[in-house]
Amino acid sequence: MCGIVGYWGPNAESGLVERMAARIAHRGPDGSGSWIDPAAGIAVGHRRLAILDLSSAGAQPMTSPCGDYVVAFNGEIYNHLDIRCEMEQGGQAPRWRGHSDTETLAAALGLWGVRGALERTNGMFALAIWRRSTRTLTLARDRMGEKPLYYGRCGSTLFFGSELKAFGAHPDWHPEIDRDSVASFLQYNYVPAPRSIYRGVFKLSPAHLVEISDPLAPLPTSVAYWDIASVARAGLAIRHEHPADIEHRLHDLLRSSVRIRMAADVPLGAFLSGGIDSTLIAALMQAQSGSPVRTFTVGFAETAYNEAEHARAVASHLGTDHTELTVTPEDALALVPQLPAIWDEPFADSSQIPTFLLSKLTREHVTVSLSGDGGDELFGGYTRYVDGLRTWRLLSRLPLPARRILAEAMSRFPGPISAVAESVLPARLKVTHLADRLPKLAQVMRVASERDYYRSLVSHWREPESVVIGTRRQMGGSSAELGGPGATMVDRMMLTDMQTYLPDDILVKVDRASMAVSLEARVPFLDHRVVEEAWKLPPEWKLRDNTGKRVLRSLLDRYVPRELVERPKMGFGVPIEHWLGGPLRDWAEDLLSEERLRREGFLDPAPIRALWNEHKQGRRRWHYLLWDVLMFEAWLDSHA
């Protein structure tokens, strides 16, 4: 795992690009390197976290054996030995200097070109490739978006790299905040790709590459070398296959995915929450290891947020070497001021806090950790798939005009309606904090289509245009349609999440938290072979009887008693609601002051102050919306 950075413009200097790379030294503390072509004006920098081949033979940037390609690489190619075998069997292998995956990639570029090399890879990566003969820069990203890659222009200089903070060391870096991106951030609690928080600076989309031949010309459109929507459609077309055969193949693929992600020349372990996904990954690791696997979990004093006892029980059954840390509120609160610097862009998924603390604990013992992320999106694990489907079926029975009349009443009178429901409904039908939930349901009831319904369901600020000053943005999305007779609503929800929430929230969270402490996190569920196989599963093998991940539960029965993992989904959260009413109240009051908001000129103070006052008074629970604003304000404060 590493960090890459570079620029193409006037005055390519090794000293300058090395200072840029130093800004992301946390991504690669084991070494640094640079490569420049003064005549072309390009400079590439690299920070190395040595995982495979710890010798200087794995140092970067690296030139291909043919001398035409220079590559800076962030990530891992897990099947690089298979690629070497293909070269050797064809009599096309160079004389290898070491055993790093970067050397394999450099040779593959010279032999098959960029696209041919990428299509052979199984891994996570962000690449910057300079072709000397054509003076062409190619940027590429892994299929599911595990590793980040930004690119864009300021003035006469083209920038590219793993994190935005690296660009700040260059004298030409004078970015402008994109107000449309601020609006998108408030809606989703992250800035969706391909935009970044800065105008004219982009995130390369997963499974895409972009080829740039002129740093001053308009940026070309990126192209896909793999497409998750096409994978989904192909899988749906063959769902008639026998489910048991698919389960058997899925088990074999998951074993293989875990096995190749256990390859490392440094200590390795796994995150373990005790839930289905992380338990299955840990079980597959232990089944293929000759010694106890290192597993790690963090627990919290607040019972509602604590999964440590479940992880401990699973670790005991599997026989792993388990390490557990109980996090105090003081530990978590001390991290809050550091969040903007770690995440680099506005980011408001509060589970970033325990994810960072878990990564920090893990890095004290190992350099690589496997994670169970991706299981929910692939196998129907989120409760919103169940609840969302049920709610939409009920709502769609009502004509849209009638739904909108009811929605208006819910928005205007949530308190009285909640009070009436509390007094007349039986206990089994009562909903906690109903007054807070009614406005959200009202927003959902107003939409006309299934697609807009789901987008509304996963939104925070549903009309951010009313809060962000000067935005032109309208609610929309870039997710592909998934039609055909075999496609269900849950399929479409999962595909949307794989295209948006997974790469832009979950994987950003894991990458920044782990890389901030120089830990490499690997995600076996996102092996593209597993993803392709998962889409072949009949829907009832994912979601049945209001329970998700049916096939994973079946696989896990081979390793762990069902009672150890069967419990309501908890998530990985922190008590933001209580913190804003207590230890973070003064911090929040300062960031949300009317004078401050007016002075900055990005957000309209009126609706924000209204929510904050209601929250402080205990009349309503607005902590999720307020946390979005607070994370933007904290980011703005640290990046001004």
Active site residues: 2
55 annotated to a ligand binding site: no
H or E segment and range at residue 129? strand 123-131
Q: Are 89 and 78 in contact (CB under 8 A)?
A: no
d(CA 239, CA 488): 12
Under 8 Å CB-to-CB from 608, ≥6 apart: which residues?
Answer: 467, 592, 597, 626, 629
For residues 79-92, b (16+ Cβ closer than 10 Å) or e, as one string?
bbeebbebbeeeee
Tokens standing for residue 532: 């392709």
Determine the angle formed by the axes of helices 623-639 and 179-188, rounding to 10 degrees: 140
Quote the Cα angle for 572-296-260, to 5°: 100
372 annotated to a ligand binding site: yes
371 annotated to a ligand binding site: yes
d(CA 334, CA 639): 19
436 annotated to a ligand binding site: no
CA 354 to chain CA mean position, Å: 15
Q: For residue 117, which phi and psi values (nearest 5 degrees)?
A: -70, -45
**Position of tokens 């994190």?**
163
Tell me how crowded residue 637 is: count the other CB atoms within 10 A of its CB: 14
Tokens standing for residue 72: 């800076």
Amino acid at 610: A
Q: Are 104 and 32 in contact (CB under 8 A)?
A: no
Tell me how crowded residue 257 is: count the other CB atoms within 10 A of its CB: 24
Binding-site residues for ATP:
298, 371-372
Binding-site residues:
101, 298, 371-372
Binding-site residues for L-glutamine:
101
